[in-house]
Amino acid sequence: MSATNGAATRSPRDPEARRRALVRAAAELILESGDLTHRQVAARAKVPLGSTTYYFSSLGDLRAAALEQLADEINDELAVIAQQVAEADGDPRVLAGLLHAYLSNTDQVRADAALYSNAAQDPALRHLALRWFDGFVQMASAWTDPVTAHNIGVYIDGVTLHATLADEPLDLTTLTRGLTALLRPRDEEA
Amino acid sequence: MSATNGAATRSPRDPEARRRALVRAAAELILESGDLTHRQVAARAKVPLGSTTYYFSSLGDLRAAALEQLADEINDELAVIAQQVAEADGDPRVLAGLLHAYLSNTDQVRADAALYSNAAQDPALRHLALRWFDGFVQMASAWTDPVTAHNIGVYIDGVTLHATLADEPLDLTTLTRGLTALLRPRDEEA
Amino acid sequence: MSATNGAATRSPRDPEARRRALVRAAAELILESGDLTHRQVAARAKVPLGSTTYYFSSLGDLRAAALEQLADEINDELAVIAQQVAEADGDPRVLAGLLHAYLSNTDQVRADAALYSNAAQDPALRHLALRWFDGFVQMASAWTDPVTAHNIGVYIDGVTLHATLADEPLDLTTLTRGLTALLRPRDEEA
Amino acid sequence: MSATNGAATRSPRDPEARRRALVRAAAELILESGDLTHRQVAARAKVPLGSTTYYFSSLGDLRAAALEQLADEINDELAVIAQQVAEADGDPRVLAGLLHAYLSNTDQVRADAALYSNAAQDPALRHLALRWFDGFVQMASAWTDPVTAHNIGVYIDGVTLHATLADEPLDLTTLTRGLTALLRPRDEEA
DNA sequence: TATGAATGAGTCTTCATTCAT
DNA sequence: GATGAATGAAGACTCATTCAT
């Protein structure tokens, strides 16, 4: 008489699936409205209200988990980009193109904005917003020096921030010029 | 519906001062905690609760006024920097130094963070976070081309964002290198 | 240098005009929304907020004055009808026609509804809702006996109430039949 | 935003009973004062303030539920009357007597008044005030024609309204005469 | 283990009324 | 006489969190 659930079914007896559903729902709500309440999350995840506090001892925990998930996704996305840039041996035009495409994706930009915004208001979340940066600097060391890697990272942060504030991301030409300049070897220096 | 007013003494009759006090209190609270409630503002400004809604028809209005004030202050600060850079004919080392000093000021950084954060969550506030950018690009056109001006602006946004997330701002050396690279004239292009 | 206001201008120095403007504004608001606040009345009447309490010592007074005005207007309207019926020597078809026309006027019905509604909630206002009734009974005594007059009045109240609750007033045929029946002389009785 | 809950004892676990208690309390308050606030209802029903919004998502919902209950009770009462009249084969004297008794009950009249009053101010509630009417017309079709049924219904509405406005209901004689007239068969017609 | 009923602290907001000017 | 600033009481409503079941 008991249902034999396929693994895909999110059944009441699959704690991990519930947890994931809650995190996913919370992440979606953060992206959509920025607000987060137990009730909203429960409704979105189609899970009883009590589950939200059963699986996460406070709403802050749930928010942190959701943001961590967003940070992971962002990280993955940027890792792919960094990988492709590495394959192009650090060609700034390749980076510019990939970055422009990335920033043309509204959802991505919203995720970045949510991360920045929450991190700015809660120091405990700041490491999440920096995660991609550290990863990027490391990966970039394959094709440039650390200082330049930091500067490129900072520039990318700036471009991303800009995309969250302006209606459109920085145009490809400007982007290409900026990255090219940052990557060009210094001839000599004073 | 009722109003049994004890004949308490009324406060000074200086509407403008009250308004300013409210905005100032709200700005401080935004910097300190990010949260904003009528009660907190009233307590901080030492005015009765009712005053907060008498002067600002909604909490959103009050927040907007406070953020506008912060944006103005940031704007002024950056205008001074831009002015000094203009006097140095766009010397990136000068800009780097001033920027580094600016970002070493915790309060400034917090103000920037608050602005970004609020703007990210409320589109109606985004123009405030972009205000300094537009002003900067305009002023920078005195000593560089528009594309470079945009790139410097974006880079500054990135550095600022970084300062709000990391414990310390980008070090002066890296900053100088980045700005120098962005400002160096392009030799030739493909 | 002082403006010589024509009598038509509602100038600050015409207390009676102000009073009337306030009452009129209040009546309009009662008809439109049922709610009444000092601020709304002042804004509608284009009069300073302070005037509302200067001319009426409480909001209840102002509401009462507004309802009295509505009651007067209703009274006038119905007096005209009663007059015409009297001229037709109490012909129920005439009364039915006039009544139907009266109840087809949305504003009239709203005024009646406001009066009933306020009277039901505040006994001090009940006499206003009965004012037309007393007048009607008196006028009707010209063409019918008192008992019938009362019954007609009650019936009219019912029809009016019905108009305030239903989407459309009672149809003319039904109305005519009802009034005719009520007015028909009793043949004999048990 | 916070919730330092003293570990007070929770109340009985009987949702339905709570719901009923709230509706009952709200109905009583409507009858007594016409005003309705969460606080008043909670106090009257002896439940915590939070319960009022837990069970009814808005005060309007609660008011509607209370009025629906009143409408039901009125309906029941009038159905009994209609039933008795039907048994008397539509004898107007029977109807008059029952109606007079009904309207001599202050509570009944107050319930009617509350229903009319609220319906007049909120169109969404109008169907409640019309409920008895529709039921009455239907039941009356057993002993009279539809037009007459409507007219009797309207007349009853008028008498009821009158009772809510005047100190005393219409006297039995007048009532009997009115109903008799409305029910008397028409001899001939034009 | 899981859940939904329960609740009180706290939120924004409205507003009649008062009164200094 | 007029007026608009002032204010506190109160309103509807939200919600994290607790806990009996």
What pLDDT digit, counting tens, does each position of C83-133 carry? 999 999 999 999 999 999 999 999 999 999 999 999 998 999 999 999 999
pLDDT of res. A1: 39
What confidence score (pLDDT) does residue B187 get? Answer: 63
Nucleic chain F contacts, protein chain C, residues 20-49, CB cut-off 7 A: 47-49
Note the pLDDT of residue B3. Answer: 38
* Average pLDDT of the segment spanning C10-30: 87
CA nearest to nucleotide E19 C1': residue: B10
Block residue for tokens 């992440």: A27
pLDDT at B64 over 80: yes
- Contacts with B, A 55-94, CB within 8 Å: none
pLDDT in tens, A123-153: 999 999 999 999 999 999 999 999 999 999 9
Q: What is the mean pLDDT of residues C38-47?
A: 97
Residue D6 one-letter amino acid = G
Nucleotide nearest to A40 (CA to C1'): F15
Is the pLDDT at B18 greater than 80? The verdict is yes
Binary contact (C155, D158; C-beta < 8 A): yes
Q: Does D161 touch chain C (CB under 8 A)?
A: yes
What's the gap in Å between the CA of C7 and the closest CA on chain D? 38
A124 Cβ under 8 Å from any chain B Cβ: no
What is the predicted pLDDT for the residue at C183? Answer: 95
Mean pLDDT of chain B: 91
Average pLDDT, stretch A93-106? Answer: 96
Name the residues in A8-47 having a C-beta closer than 7 Å to nucleic acid strand F: 35-39
Q: How many Å from the N-terminal Cα to the C-terminal Cα in chain D?
A: 75
* Residue D47, Ramachandran bin (φ over 0: left; ψ between -120 and 50: alpha; else beta): beta
Q: CA–CA distance from C138 to each of A170, D58, D95 (Å)? A: 83, 47, 28
**DSSP states of C121-134:** H-GGGHHHHHHHHH
Say if D116 is an interface residue toward chain C (CB within 8 Å). yes
Nucleotide nearest to A57 (CA to C1'): F17
The more confidently predicted of residues B79 and B188 is: B79
Q: From the CA of C65, how many Å to the nearest CA of chain D?
A: 19
- Per-residue pLDDT at C7: 39
Measured to protein CB atoms, the chain E nucleotides within 7 Å are 1-21
Assess whether B5 (CB) lies less than 7 A from strand F: yes
CB C52 within 8 A of CB C42: yes
- Nearest-nucleotide field for A50 (CA, C1'): E3
- With contacts defined as CB-CB under 8 Å, which chain A residues touch B151? 155, 174, 177-178, 181
Window from A68-82, C3-17, D110-124 with minimum mean pLDDT: C3-17
Q: Give the pLDDT band of residue B7 (cuts 50, 70, 90).
A: very low
Mean of the pLDDT values across residues B153-182?
A: 96
C172 interfacial to chain D (CB closer than 8 Å): no
- A147 and B174 within 8 Å at the Cβ level: the answer is yes
- Looking at the partner chain, which of A147, A162, A178 has a beta carbon nearest the beta carbon of B182? A178
Measured in angstroms, the CA of C179 and the nearest CA of chain D are apart by 8
Calculate the alpha carbon distances from B168 to B109, B144, C45, D177 in Å: 10, 29, 60, 95
C126 contacts D173? CB cut-off 8 A: no
Chain C 15-44, CB < 7 Å to strand E: 35-39
DSSP states of D64-92 as a string? HHHHHHHHHHHHHHHHHHHHHHHHTTT-H
Q: Strand F nucleotides below 7 A of a protein CB? A: 1-21
Confidence (pLDDT) at B12: 66
CA A56 → C1' F18, Å?
14
Whether residue B131 lies within 8 A of chain A, CB to CB, comes out as no
Q: CB of residue C60 closer than 7 A to nucleic acid strand E?
A: yes
Q: With a cut of 60, say whether residue A190 has pLDDT above it.
A: no
> CA D12 – C1' F20 distance (Å)?
10
Contact D96, D172 (CB under 8 A): yes
pLDDT tens, position by position, for chain D (190 residues)? 333 333 345 566 789 999 999 999 999 999 999 999 999 999 999 999 999 999 999 999 999 999 999 999 999 999 999 999 999 999 999 999 999 999 999 999 999 999 999 999 999 999 999 999 999 999 999 999 999 999 999 999 999 999 999 988 999 999 999 999 999 987 644 4
Closest CA to A31 of A115, A105, A111: A111
What does the block give as tokens for D104?
Answer: 């001599």
Whose CA is nearest the C1' atom of nucleotide E15? Answer: B1
User: From CA C168, how far away is CA D184, in angstroms rounded?
Assistant: 27
- Chain D residue with Cα closest to C172: D147
Q: Is the pLDDT of residue B181 over 60?
A: yes
pLDDT at A167: 86
pLDDT band at B9 (very low <50, low <70, confident <90, very high): low
Q: Which residue of D has its CA nearest to C111?
A: D120
Q: Is the pLDDT of residue A117 over 70?
A: yes
The residue lying closest to nucleotide E7, measuring its CA against C1', is D50
pLDDT at A8: 39
Q: CA at B15, C1' at F14: how many angstroms apart?
A: 33
Q: Could you check: is the Cβ of residue A11 within 7 Å of any atom of nucleic acid strand E?
A: no
> CB of B178 within 8 Å of any CB in chain A?
yes
Q: C touches which chains (3+ CB pairs under 8 A)?
A: D
CB B47 within 8 A of CB B17: no
Out of B33-47, B51-65, C175-189, D6-20, least confident range: D6-20
Name subunits touching B (3+ CB pairs < 8 A).
A
What pLDDT is recorded for position D5?
37
What would you report as the CA-atom Rg of chain D, rounded to the nearest whole angstrom?
Answer: 21
Average pLDDT, chain C: 91
A-chain CB neighbours of B166 within 8 Å are: 126, 130
From A68-72, B132-136, D174-178, the region with the lowest mean pLDDT: B132-136
Nearest Cα of chain D lies from the Cα of C14 at a distance, in angstroms, of: 35
Per-residue pLDDT tens over the stretch C130-144: 999 999 999 999 999
The shortest CB-CB distance from B116 to any of A120, A170, A184 is to A120
Interatomic distance A26 CA / F12 C1' (Å): 27
Span C47-69, average pLDDT: 97
Distance between A46 CA and the closest CA of chain B, angstroms: 26
- Whether residue C174 and residue D158 make contact (CB cut-off 8 A), yes or no, is no
* A184: pLDDT strictly greater than 50: yes
Is A136 an interface residue toward B (CB < 8 Å)? no
Instruction: Say if B102 is an interface residue toward chain A (CB within 8 Å).
Output: no
From chain D, the residues in CB contact with C166 under 8 A are: 126, 130
Position C162 pLDDT exceeds 80: yes
pLDDT of residue C94: 97
With contacts defined as CB-CB under 8 Å, which chain A residues touch B96? Answer: none
Bin C184: left if φ > 0, else alpha if -120 < ψ < 50, else beta. beta
- Cβ of D162 and C157 within 8 Å? yes
Show the DSSP H helices in chain D as ranges.
Answer: 15-32, 38-45, 49-55, 59-87, 92-103, 106-121, 126-140, 146-165, 172-183
* Cross-chain residue pair C174–D151, CB shorter than 8 Å: yes
Share of chain C above pLDDT 90, in %: 86
- Helix, strand or coil, per DSSP, at residue A82: helix
Task: Please state, in angstroms and rounded to a whole number, the distance separating the CA atoms of residues B86 and B122.
Answer: 34
**pLDDT tier at B10, thresholds 50, 70, 90:** low
The pLDDT > 90 percentage for chain B reads 86
- Chain C residues in contact with D190 (beta carbon < 8 A): none
CA B46 vs. chain centroid, Å, equals 25
Residue A188 has pLDDT above 80, yes or no: no
Is residue D104 within 8 A of residue D151, CB to CB? The reply is no
CA distance A14 to chain B (A): 35
Rounded Cα–Cα distance for residues D177 and C152 (Å): 11
The answer to whether the Cβ–Cβ distance between D121 and C34 falls below 8 Å is: yes
- In this predicted model, what pLDDT tens digit does every residue of D35-59 receive, in sequence order? 999 999 999 999 999 999 999 999 9
CA-to-CA distance for D190 and D173, rounded, in angstroms?
30
Alpha carbons B5 and A187: distance in angstroms, whole number: 78
